[in-house]
Amino acid sequence: MFIQIITFVVVTVNIFSQEKGAAPETKLPPAYMLKANFKLQVYYNYVLSDTTIFKRVYADSSQREFKRIVNYYFTIMQPDAPKDGFSKVEVSIDSINYKFFDGNKVYEFSDIETANLSVFKFDDFQTYSVPMSMQYDIIYSPYGEVAKIEGERLEEKRNYVEQLKTSIPDSIWYYNWKDGLSDARLKQIGDVIKIRYPINPVYRDSIWYSPIELQIDGLNIVDTVELKATGFMNNKYSIVGRFVKPNPIWKNTKFYDIKSLSLPYKIINSKGNIKQTLSATGVVHEFEINLNLTLEVGNPFVFTENIEKNLHWEMVKSFRFK
């Protein structure tokens, strides 16, 4: 079982063993006790850079390639001490930068004042811009798992979408908003913890396993990642890992430039790795995921989609209001 509270406090532990009458004690390799914990009332500014390259091959062997880059700028703050072991973290997605390349076509957004109006009609932008300006709470369990996504403003927006559903008979519109406000999407952006830690000290290069949940381009993915701590350098701790076998949790999803929301899909090939950097004070300084997935879409077969995904979270600043 893994226990994870909400900030990263990493303590180096030197372990010794000695028996009566035996040879002098021998110093074992250092081990790391990993715990999680955000400092109260401290604001952490993060950037999530989400880059995806798509390569699609249709049944007639024709091909298409496109690329999406989205940067989410968001702030995390834990206002109060844990209650009954549960901790609330407030998340505010302050802004996004968006760019999509499809052949000679480029769609961009950085702010409303400078945006070309055509981007607001672009379906992919409509899908990935929904979380912009959202505020919500992540509730962490005593074991460090995301127990709930909630928030007054979030519930108001979700209820508003449901009210409009009957008057706007557009399944793509409804999908964009429903998925964009889903727990999976908001957790993907704002949960910078992502992995679990053993309750016992972790020796350098020793291996442990952790569940992980991701949303990858509309797919809700679950896996068990193989992890190890590789040491301490420049006042930072490093953890690396690899994906074992990513699997999708079935739901309707939308593929770029495809109008149907009901195409079946399965992962036929996958490869991925993880790297996390923790500061000596326990802050998640960086978290990077590289994941390549090959999907087979349609039954009968319509196309294969190769997804090259890079996700990079970085803490750029922290501060406290006086």
Strands 202-203 and 146-150: unpaired
In the prediction, which pLDDT does 308 show?
Answer: 99
In the prediction, which pLDDT does 92 show?
Answer: 98
Place of tokens 């190890």: 228
The closest of 61, 63, 89 to 74, measured between CA atoms, is 89
Token representation of residue 77: 């703050």
Which residues are 35's β-sheet partners?
A: 9
Give the pTM: 0.89
Q: What is each CA distance from 227 to 4, 154, 204, 217, in whole angstroms? A: 15, 34, 11, 24
In the prediction, which pLDDT does 27 show?
Answer: 53
Give the single-character DSSP code of 120: G
In the prediction, which pLDDT does 113 show?
Answer: 87
Amino acid at position 149, single letter = I
Neighbours of 14 (CB within 10 A): 10
Phi, psi of 73, deg, nearest 5: -105, 120
In the prediction, which pLDDT does 7 show?
Answer: 40
User: CA-to-CA distance for 57 and 64, rounded, in angstroms?
Assistant: 7
Q: In the chain, which stretches have pLDDT less than 50?
A: 1-26
Architecture label for domain 9-319: Roll (2.30)
Taking a C-beta distance cutoff of 8 angstroms, is the pair 193, 6 a contact?
A: yes
Cβ burial of 58 (10 Å; 0-12, 13-18, 19+) is middle
